[in-house]
A and B are shown apart, each in its own frame.
Chain A
């Protein structure tokens, strides 16, 4: 059974690194993207099982990407987990994009449990 593929769209290199480390340890194949542009380049080339989205990004907004993925039938099946420092779960619910939400900073066990539900 092949490893599940996770895309991490996160502009902060350290966060990206720690998330990738944790998920790799859990047995996921992890690809990190620092920008929306880089993410968009890859998303259709190789569809991930799970996308972990930061919200405040240098060239876009995670919520927009979430909606975009949901609306495109090619990507609508992808599981999405939003991560943000400021945005609350309520705002995610109100954004009209059905997604898991994890606040930053996060508890590793909690985080892993959330990701694992899609494995």
Chain B
């Protein structure tokens, strides 16, 4: 071997030894002739393998594959970059790339083969990874797109097609702006600049255009693509369609905005009552900020006497029951009571388990105040109504004025009120105090009567209402010596209201005055109310005056009737006397008959006069009674006897039964029985029988006087006990004033009884009355 060959050999040997790839050489019988260090490193072989066959280094199937490869090479073909798997001594499978070359001697005779094995495990792993990524990318519903830094699209997955509608061939190489709405083009510069600076953009929410022009809300994640040298060569872009998420987000945002902007307090709490959320409304209503409230127990809002409500509410919530419009009171941070209407609903987690409660509290203080105002207004109306009623019913001036003063003082909220008569004393100064409300009379009397000052003059001259927020600042105030205003110790009047009371004739009767120690108390409403009451009061006072006049007239009328009755009876008395004297001496015959008739007429005349006199007494409430133990049974018997003698021609059938003693006025009862039997005789002249019964029934004595005459039509029965009413008015041949039953009814009622009539026209009439039986006290 020459030196050159020698040198060449060494060179090959050196290359062989320093090769990165493993080289294993063997002869044509597969006996290993050499291995290089790389083979030792890769497979864990040692030089001891030399001389052993190749088959010992590999699995049977792999060796078969290898034999086949070697045959291929033997036949002259090349095996280049054949990829397979080889196992190392330690049992590790390695992905490898194999080149097999024939080894020839100097005579070109095949003496063996060399296989160069390149470990491609890393490459293989990378390929696998890429395949996985590609599969992921292809399978992703997100649009995954890559583009150059200039914005030209370089890849486009199925997701991108799904979202944007373009197929990959349509967009490859196109500029990314085809996806960007006109008004968002600037976004691209921003994104690219970020990416160029090596930054990632995550969850960038924007809108992109689909092929059909629809705007699609997306969330973008953009990353730089680097080459091996780390240089940024492109942009990968993942776009997620967030239409549905956006809707949910929008809904949530809207809900949040609603909660936040609600005037109602919206509070979340746990089932143990710990506050978990707290909106602006809650802050406004209860005064606690979110920081102060969250984590606190809900009881900070509950008045101590209502703590049990919370338990009831929570129990309700625990059983899943919502609470609606529960009106209650809560307290604010400043300890102010707030009327609230609560709506409490359970909060459920995604498993449907109740984990807390949401509470919406509406401040209904204003509503309550409105209700109270309404109540107070209706109260005022009630006062007005009652004052109107009571003063119009009243005829006593003192009572009217006191009621008016009291009511108006209450209505205006004045500290004190007074009515002053419009009367001026000799000096032309003082007004007469009449009634006071809210302050003792002495408070006024120690200063004497109010004086004829400029302030009062307006009212007493009837010029109109004076309403001043602060009387001390009024120009009319403080002009009059000696006090120049209110004397020391005067009731503290600051707010001042004065209303004249003017009669229908225009005379100023007086004035209603109100005071309050605070300024600005009286408002237009008060003024209107008092003016209203004052006019009613004026009417009532006018009525009262009229009543006094009528009362006087009525008294005069009573006096007149008494006198008239006396004057009528005086001649009647002597006439009756003389006629009776004559009757006693007259012989039978025409004279006696005429005298009887004359005496009867005198008696009738006397009854008429008595009725007239009685009626005036009934009207004046002056009919007097002398109640004593009275045997009504016996009395009726006596009267029947009298009738038998004086009015013959009827059978007075009297039936009595039981105890008939009452507490009664004998003369008046006699008048009643006489009237009833007299009526029967008068209105049923052809009734042979007049039945009179007296029975004791259930603590009452019931008397019936029954005739069998024409009877009384039902329509007339109701009027029969009225004054001046007479049945069958047209029937002029029956005399009477129509007063008898009216007086009879009055007498019965004054005995605590009642009177009524039962009648069937054509069959007669039954007048009945019931009076209480005397209570025996033994």
Contact = CB atoms under 8 A, between A and B. Distances in A.
Contacts of B562: 86
Given A88-B667, A89-B667, A90-B625, A18 B578 contact: yes
B532 interface: no
Interface string A14-36: 11011101100000000000000
B577 interface: yes
A105 B577 contact: yes
A56 to B, nearest CB: 6
B584 interface: yes
A18 B584 CA distance: 13
Interface in B559-583: 562, 565-566, 569-578, 580-581
A17 B570 CA distance: 13
Interface in A52-102: 56, 85-86, 88-91, 93-94
B624 A90 contact: yes
Contact of B613 (A18, A86, A94, A106): A86
Given A86-B613, A93-B626, A105-B606, A12 B581 contact: no
Given A18-B574, A105-B602, A94 B624 contact: yes
12 contacts: A15-B570, A15-B577, A18-B578, A18-B581, A85-B565, A85-B569, A90-B626, A94-B624, A105-B577, A105-B602, A106-B576, A108-B581
Given A90-B665, A105-B602, A85 B570 contact: yes
A108 B575 CA distance: 12
Contacts of B569: 85-86, 104-105
A107 interface: yes
Nearest to B610: A103
A14 B579 CA distance: 12
Contact of A14 (B566, B571, B584, B626): B571
A12 B584 contact: no
A15 B567 CA distance: 13
Given A90-B625, A105-B577, 10 more contacts: A12-B573, A14-B571, A18-B574, A22-B577, A85-B566, A88-B667, A94-B626, A104-B569, A105-B572, A106-B576
B625 A12 contact: no
Contacts of A108: 577, 580-581, 584
Interface string B659-678: 00000010100000000000
Given A86-B613, A90-B665, A93-B626, A56 B577 contact: no
A18 B576 CA distance: 9
A22 B581 contact: yes
Nearest to A91: B624
A12 B572 CA distance: 11
A14 B570 CA distance: 9
A17 B571 CA distance: 12
Contact of A89 (B575, B576, B580, B626): B626
A105 B566 contact: no
B9 to A, nearest CB: 176
Interface residues of A, number: 22
A99 to B, nearest CB: 14
Contacts of A18: 574, 577-578, 581
Contacts of B580: 107-108
B613 to A, nearest CB: 6
Given A18-B578, A90-B665, A12 B570 contact: yes
A89 B665 CA distance: 10
A105 B602 CA distance: 9
Nearest to A83: B573
Nearest to A109: B580
Nearest to B562: A86
Contacts of A56: 566
Contacts of B626: 89-90, 93-94
What are the nearest 3 A-B pairs in CB distance? A18-B577, A85-B569, A14-B574
B667 A90 contact: yes
A88 B572 contact: no
A109 to B, nearest CB: 8
Contacts of B606: 105
Given A21-B581, A90-B624, A105 B576 contact: yes
A12 B577 contact: no
B563 to A, nearest CB: 9
Nearest to A11: B570
A105 B624 CA distance: 20
A86 B667 CA distance: 14
B579 to A, nearest CB: 10
A60 to B, nearest CB: 15
B371 to A, nearest CB: 60
Nearest to A55: B566
Contacts of B667: 88-90
Contacts of A86: 562, 565-566, 569, 613
Nearest to B609: A85
Interface in B539-577: 562, 565-566, 569-577
A12 B574 contact: yes
Contacts of A21: 581
A21 B478 CA distance: 87
A56 B573 CA distance: 14
Contacts of A104: 569-570, 572-573
Contacts of B574: 12, 14-15, 17-18
Contact of B577 (A89, A90, A106): A106
Contacts of A17: 574
A64 B573 CA distance: 23
B746 to A, nearest CB: 15
A107 B581 CA distance: 10
Contacts of B624: 88, 90-91, 94
B461 to A, nearest CB: 52
Given A21-B581, A89-B626, A106 B573 contact: yes
B585 to A, nearest CB: 10
Nearest to A17: B574
A105 B581 contact: no
A21 B667 CA distance: 28
B570 to A, nearest CB: 5
